[in-house]
Every structure is written in structure tokens, then in C-alpha cells.
Structure 1
């Protein structure tokens, strides 16, 4: 899965710019040692991610994207002549732990900004803490609309589920021409249930019929009963806005029930290597909405893909690209900020317009959400393949 780090990682100084020098540089302490507190010689940025637990793949990919971005920034001289130091914390895929880690990063380590999380539930929980302490936070990939509503210090570098759900529905109804739909989602997950709601609402507006909805609890692993009921309802498309770790058994059990992979459409939570390695044959032909695909034909994206592959020896996922963009967007805002305080950095993030990232052109709107393009990806030959773009790239 690429370069591995400990539970707590420190990336320091200009000497840590390139991977080769980072491994040898005396100022680059990857063991977790170091003292807390603010420093006038560096920008301390806290990063909290699911580096263990159910969503580990998402956390690792995001961490790699962030680390690559900051190494590039530091190699180019840092921001305002000062390097960025990343302080990574593992929230163990748990919302309460995310809140605890963010509080530690703020109180103990005196960070000026935060990056995290992938999960909407964890981002919202930690965002409440960040906002209360007036530390700006950028969530790389948390798409539920409620995340940024917790307060003026919380932002995101991704689109929201209302846009993703609407685009997904329009793609299914207008592009694929399908009108009989089923929905399969996790009722106790903010991301999954929210995306299902948006898709359902837009699909009905477009004249489609949702012939059956089935919900499950996110810790379930046996979906056979749900899938048999869905098969018998004879939908043309099954919309499954779930995470990759649920989609793997769903795809396998669907094949056993006689449901082809091409009948599924999903959301950005599908994009993890384990989906194609563990269920590539079963999910062949399916589509999903996403932030990015490794083969998108955009110059900034291809430059990122090349750099990521050179360092981690594999193609980047959308989560890696989102982490990369969140870190670059934050550095851009620090560079434009009128002061060095968290409040001034917050104001600069809010003023972001026409930021060109690996996932397309980004502008932060009045709700502190990202206006940016959305990508349709298809799974073909056990690979994530670019299909089309919605929005300005």
C-alpha cells in the first residue's frame, strides 16, 4: 500500500522535500519524537485520519497524498520562507477518537490549521472541536452537507453529497436511460444515508421509479437477503452509495444471486484498491461518481499521478488526490493570508478562487464548500477508468 509511517509522523524542514532526502535527512524525524508548542520557524499543521480500523485504506491513501504535497511545497522553499510540519494522528476510524485527537493537536501541539477527515461523521465531530477553538480545518473528502455547517472555521476540498447524488441520478436516468431503480445503503452512516436521500429525490424529479429500497447497518456483512429481494423487484440499476469495504461483499454476493456488476452505480466511497483486487470481476462494468480518476486527461492531474506513482509505486486513488489538493489549498491560503494567525488563514481559505488542483479547479463558496468538477468512473478490466466530467475542470 505504499510508504508506511508510524502512528505519529513529523515532516520537517526543507531537507524533507524529496523522498530520498527525506529518508536520510537528520531533520526529518519519522519516529514521532519531538516537542510540542508553536514555532516561528515552521507552520504546524495537524492531520487526523483513519490509519487503523474499518476505513484504514482511505486514511492511508489520504496521508500519502498530503505527505507528497507537503514534501513538494517544502522542497520549493516552504510557505513565506517557512516549512510546513505535519503532525499525523490516527483516529482509529472512530468519531470520538477524531475529536480527542484534534483537541490534542490544538492544545498540546499548537497547530495553526487541521486537515481531515475522509468520513463525514468523523469530520463533523472533529470540526465542532476545531470551530470551538477557532482553528481552520479542511476536510479532504467528507461530502455530507452537515460537515461545514458546524461553523465558520470548517471547510472542505470536495463537492457535497447533494451535488454527487444529483449528478449520479442524472447520469443513471439521462445518460444510461434507466428508469427502474433500487437503492441499497447503510442507514446508520451519515455518508451513505445522505447520498441515498439525494439520489432518490433527484431520480424521482427526473421521472424514474425507485422500485425498492433496502437499508442495512454498516457492520453487516451478509447482504444475500437484501440482494435477492432487489433482484426479484427487477430494477435496471441498483444505486449503492456505500464504502468500499461494504461493496466488496455486496458485489460478491450479488454475483452469486445472479446480479451482474454492471447493474450497480455508486459514489466516491468505492474508490479503494481493495475493491478491484477483491471484487474486480464481480463489479465489472459498474459506474460511480468520484472526485478523480488516475487517467483523467488534465495536465495538473497527470503531473500529480506521475509524481505519486514515482514515490508510491502505484496509481493514486481519489482519496490520495483529495488529500494532495487539501494540503496544497491550505498552503496556498497560508501564503495569501494577511497574517500568521489561524484566523487570518481561515479568511484566506474562504477567499480561495480558481485554485488548480489535481482534482480540477476549486473555488470555496459562501458555505465553505468546494465548487469543482465531478468525474464519472467505470470499472473495466479490474481498473478505475475515466468516463466523463461534469463541471469546469
Structure 2
């Protein structure tokens, strides 16, 4: 018993004298480390994207730390599971801000980002999201940045593309911040062009939407736009549409870019509106090579991977220039003329949105993605 007490005292002394502390999750964190919080879906239906982004963050941070960190200080990332929901993300952010004392948070989903944004503004914490597309993020605050694209742009492309062939449209959408906002903007643009929209919604992560689909099909729309929040849910809708005998045109949001969807027979012929095709460049090639080397496969979602990799290195550049100060980093990002990384060359506008990036229409044909041309 005495030996155990002595051992515990020795460990405590080592922690105290080495300038370390422990987080509530048990992680030992260097006091002089540059702490960054990560809030993303590490469990639940959106895990596929969350894990890809976590993997990329680890690659980037390990690269930087192996070269001495940022001006001699290592980066320490504290990961929290936001589950792609606002409630979980807000709880995670409060912990990161109030207990872990982070000054920078990386977020993934729209629901997570919108829930964290008020906390980031109140506490002067920089929030940068790689893939959240909800248009409301543009006005979420001065401390909020994103290297994704706004669905306000996506909606216009979707409406214009569908209206070329169909004048009546059924929309099945998930009750989440992302999917609801996209539905609203698509409906607005489609009706403005002279089209008619029939829409039905379902609760987040519902496993059966036949009732909603039947209501839409009874209206006999010329096309259906499948608008889920996750790949898993989107695939479920496609399967149920197929089971109900629907043979009309099917359009989808970003979920069509997932390998599991591309390989699904039910997705054959679907036109979806996904991430831009990023031209090959040295940074992209390096990341893809490193990802395969570490995880034995390519990232299942390319754009979030490239975007998140850029996030880490943009922050590195900013901290090297102005220090680990969110107010100074914020101003630096707004004034930055351009950044060239895995996504190519872009900058941030007055809303913190990346300028020069927009989605495009693609189609699934025989298990592969091809550019869509009406």
C-alpha cells in the first residue's frame, strides 16, 4: 500500500514539474502546446465524414509537430464527438472552451457549426469548418470561417439543372439544419423559375420514409430530389424509391459522391450535386499519398479531406505570423490575399466564406462518377 502511494506521488510530481495537466477525458496536455478543439461526428450516421477528417487532422498535425511544431510549440488536438447534432456539439464546445481553454475549434457538420458559432463569438474563439454548407453560416459571426461552399450557390445550380428537364419536382428531405436550408433555397429558386415543388420531410436518422415518399409520388412529379443529411440515409431513400417502383428522374445532394452509394444498384443514373473536381496539385497528391500510407485506403470523401488539411495549414501559417491569438488570427484570415493548398487557390470574403469554390453536377453511371451534361 505504501509503495502504491509513493508511486502515485511520483507520477503527480512528474506531471507538475513537466508543465503538463490532464483534461477531463484523461488526456495529458502540454501547457505550452497550441491547443485546438475538434468537434465532428465520430459516431452515428455521419461517422464516415467525421473519421476521414479526424484522420487528416492527425496526418497534418503529426507532420507539423515532427518538424518542431509552430515556433517550437507542438499542436495538441482535443477530439470531441458532435454526432452531427447541434445539442451534442454545443456541449462539446462548452467543454473545449471552458475546461480545455482552446482558442480554435474545427467543426464538420452544419448543425454542429451553427450550434457552436454563438459560443465562439461570445468567447472570441476562432471556428473553422471544412464542409458545413448551410447558408446561415455566412452570417454566423466574425469568428466563423469555412473552406466549404454555401448551399445558396448549390441550390441555384440544382434548381436550374432540374428545371431544364422537369417542371414539377418532389423533394424528400431530412429535418436537419443542412437539409432543411437546402430544401428551402432549392424550392425558392425552382418556383421562381416557374416550377412546382412538392416536399415532404422526415425526422433525423429515420429508418423508413415510405409514407412520405408515397405522398410525393401521388403528386406525380417529373423528378425527385433526394435531400438527406448523411450517406446512410440517402441510400435508404434510394432503396425505398426502388421498392416502390419509381422509375422517373432522381437527383441527389452531396451524398452521391460516397463509394457506398456509387456502388449501389439503386443509385444507377442518379444525378447529384457534389463537390467541385479539384485539379491535381502537389499538396493534394501529397495528402492522398500520406492517407493511403497511414490508413491503407483513399479517403471516402475527398473534398472534406482536402479542405480539412488546408484548415490545419492555414492556421499554422496564421499562428506563425500573428501568434496563438484568435482576434489576430481572425483579422489575418480576413486580410489574407489568397491561400494555395490542397483545394487550389482561394481566399476568404467578408463573411468568412471561401471564394472561388462552387459545386457541380455529376452522374452515377455503371459504378463510376461522370460529369453530368443535360
Superposition TM-score, scaled by structure 1 size: 0.78
Q: Which residue of 2 aligns with 1:89?
A: 80
CA deviation profile, 1:200-247 (whole Å, cap 9, x unmatched): 22223334x225222222243222233334344443331122121221
Q: Is the 8 Å Cα contact of residues 185 and 241 (structure 1) preserved in structure 2?
A: yes
Q: Give the CA deviation at 1:388.
A: 7.1
Q: Which residue of 2 aligns with 1:335?
A: 320
What is the distance in 2 between the residues matched to 1:96 and 1:213?
26
Q: Is the 8 Å Cα contact of residues 95 and 125 (structure 1) preserved in structure 2?
A: yes
What is the distance in 1 between the residues matched to 2:110 and 2:201?
19
Q: Is the 8 Å Cα contact of residues 48 and 91 (structure 1) preserved in structure 2?
A: yes
Q: Which residue of 1 aligns with 2:19?
A: none
Q: Is the 8 Å Cα contact of residues 182 and 211 (structure 1) preserved in structure 2?
A: yes
Q: Which residue of 2 aligns with 1:266?
A: 252
Q: Where does 1:130-145 land on structure 2 (aligned, <5 Å)? A: 130-145=120-135
Q: Give the CA deviation at 1:292.
A: 4.6
What is the distance in 1 between the residues matched to 2:338 and 2:370?
23
CA 306–380 in structure 1, closer or farther in 2 if over 3 Å, else same: farther
Instruction: Answer yes or no: is 1:356 the counterpart of 2:340.
Output: yes
CA 151–200 in structure 1, closer or farther in 2 if over 3 Å, else same: same
Instruction: Answer yes or no: is 1:216 the counterpart of 2:207.
Output: no
CA deviation profile, 1:267-289 (whole Å, cap 9, x unmatched): 22554444345xx1101121222
Q: Where does 1:226-241 land on structure 2 (aligned, <5 Å)? A: 226-241=212-227
Q: Where does 1:60-139 land on structure 2 (aligned, <5 Å)? A: 60-116=51-107, 118-139=108-129
What is the distance in 2 between the residues matched to 1:325 and 1:302?
13
Q: Is the 8 Å Cα contact of residues 268 and 366 (structure 2) preserved in structure 1?
A: yes
Q: Is the 8 Å Cα contact of residues 84 and 111 (structure 2) preserved in structure 1?
A: no
Number of corresponding residues:
345
Q: Give the CA deviation at 1:128.
A: 1.5
What is the distance in 2 between the residues matched to 1:92 and 1:180?
35
What is the distance in 2 between the residues matched to 1:111 and 1:226?
43
Instruction: Answer yes or no: is 1:254 the counterpart of 2:241.
Output: yes
What is the distance in 2 between the residues matched to 1:135 and 1:57?
27
Q: Is the 8 Å Cα contact of residues 37 and 102 (structure 2) preserved in structure 1?
A: yes
Q: Where does 1:29-44 land on structure 2 (aligned, <5 Å)? A: 33-36=26-29, 38-39=31-32, 42-44=33-35
Instruction: Answer yes or no: is 1:179 the counterpart of 2:164.
Output: no
What is the distance in 1 between the residues matched to 2:182 and 2:228?
9
Moved more, 194-203 or 355-364: 355-364
CA 86–163 in structure 1, closer or farther in 2 if over 3 Å, else same: same
Gaps of 5+ in 1: 1-31
Q: Which residue of 1 aligns with 2:150?
A: 160
CA 98–181 in structure 1, closer or farther in 2 if over 3 Å, else same: same
Secondary structure, aligned partner of 2:97: helix
Moved more, 69-78 or 130-139: 69-78
Q: Which residue of 1 aligns with 2:22?
A: none
Q: Is the 8 Å Cα contact of residues 270 and 288 (structure 1) preserved in structure 2?
A: yes
CA 350–180 in structure 1, closer or farther in 2 if over 3 Å, else same: same
What is the distance in 1 between the residues matched to 2:208 and 2:168?
25
Q: Give the CA deviation at 1:194.
A: 0.5
Secondary structure, aligned partner of 1:378: strand
Q: Which residue of 2 aligns with 1:314?
A: 297
Secondary structure, aligned partner of 1:350: helix
Q: Is the 8 Å Cα contact of residues 38 and 109 (structure 1) preserved in structure 2?
A: no
Q: Is the 8 Å Cα contact of residues 45 and 205 (structure 2) preserved in structure 1?
A: no
Q: Give the CA deviation at 1:57.
A: 1.9
What is the distance in 2 between the residues matched to 1:197 and 1:109?
37
Q: Which residue of 2 aligns with 1:344?
A: 328
What is the distance in 2 between the residues matched to 1:85 and 1:330?
13
Q: Is the 8 Å Cα contact of residues 170 and 199 (structure 2) preserved in structure 1?
A: yes
What is the distance in 1 between the residues matched to 2:344 and 2:274?
12
Gaps of 5+ in 2: 1-24
